[in-house]
Amino acid sequence: MGHIRLGTLPQTKKWRQVVDLLDSDAPLEQIAEAAARASERDLDCSSDDPSFQFISKLLVELPLMARSPGFEDELKRLGMDANALGSVSALLSGVSDAIDRNAFEIGRSSDLGELARAALLETLSVQLRDRLPGLFNSEPHEIRSELGKFAGGQRFAQLARGFFARLTYKSLDYYLSRELANHTGVDSRFASDADRVRFEKALYLHTYETSRIVEEFASGWYGKTVWKEDNLTPDAINKFTRYVFKKMRSELGRRRAAA
């Protein structure tokens, strides 16, 4: 994604079709699939975005780091301080700082990188919160242990699903948010802000349901790439993310046809 104004739809034929659907009574599934097709080029380019590459690398490698004896050294290498495991909140703050440090080192950040950062932090927060006593009263060894448990096929698949569901939704909402506001009011698609919010929540739920295909694929990929072939290279991670986005778009289209 380029540095465009948040929520402003690009003036392309595919995005104009999305606007036309919002002007009609088209079902959510059709709007979601059309928006995914319209943003296809941006998602296809995501694996070539240095900021996104770093974040997807953290998604895959942080659990493995947590299981290794040199975990503290790895955290220092990423720029996290000794308090990073003091709480879940401290860990999330440290991960965010590491992303900032990487952006500084490569001399740029990106809109996609910011969306991916938010998706990763939210996913880690939800997954760890559900398995630990709380954001602030967990012991460092508990946080490390739970993080390390994602270095397994099924648990990694759950982590990956949460991340890509949120990222896909955020990518669609990135463009749609302001346009939805333009379709809110008397004689509009959404009679009130509450109607628009319900639509946004339904869009996220639809995206999350679509991401089930990611969970089914990610488990096998992780077991094969990490544990069977020991082939966790940047290229392998990039191929994984490209395939995930391809599967998500395909599933959005399939669900539209079935609706």
Phi and psi at residue 184, in whole multiples of 5°?
A: -115, 130
Residue 150 near residue 63, CB atoms below 8 Å? yes
- Reported confidence tier of residue 57, pLDDT bands at 50, 70, 90: very high
In this predicted structure, what is the pLDDT of residue 91? Answer: 93
DSSP lists the bridge partners of residue 190 as: 184
CA 88 – CA 140 distance, rounded (Å): 9
Domain residue extents for the chain: 7-259
Amino acid at 252: L
Question: Structure tokens of 133?
Answer: 């006593």
In this predicted structure, what is the pLDDT of residue 256? Answer: 61
Mean pLDDT, the chain, integer: 85
Average pLDDT over residues 42-55: 80
Which region among 7-16, 137-146, 165-174, 208-217 has the lowest average model confidence (pLDDT)?
Answer: 7-16
- Reported confidence tier of residue 123, pLDDT bands at 50, 70, 90: very high
Average pLDDT over residues 43-66: 87
In angstroms, what is the C-alpha Rg of the chain? Answer: 19
CA atoms within 13 A on the CB side of 74: 15
Query: What is the percent of the chain with per-residue pLDDT over 90, rounded to a whole number?
Result: 32
Query: What is the percent of the chain with per-residue pLDDT over 70, rounded to a whole number?
Result: 89
In this predicted structure, what is the pLDDT of residue 190? Answer: 87
In this predicted structure, what is the pLDDT of residue 157? Answer: 95
Q: Which of 240, 207, 212, 215 is nearest to 157 (CA)?
A: 215
What is the per-residue pLDDT across 93-110, written as a single tens digit (0 to 9) for each? 999 999 999 988 887 778
Q: What is the 3-state secondary structure (H, E, C) of the chain?
A: CCCCCCCCCCCCHHHHHHHHHHHCCCCHHHHHHHHHHHCHHHHHCHHHCHHHHHHHHHHHHHHHHHHCCCHHHHHHHCCCCHHHHCCHHHHHHHHHHHHHHHHHHHCCCCHHHHHHHHHHHHHHHHHHHCCCCCCCCCCHHHHHHHHHCCCCHHHHHHHHHHHHHHHHHHHHHHHHHHHHHCCECCCCCECCHHHHHHHHHHHHHHHHHHCHHHHHHHHHHHHHHHHHCCCCCHHHHHHHHHHHHHHHHHHHHHHHHHC
Instruction: Tell me if the pTM is above 0.85.
Output: yes
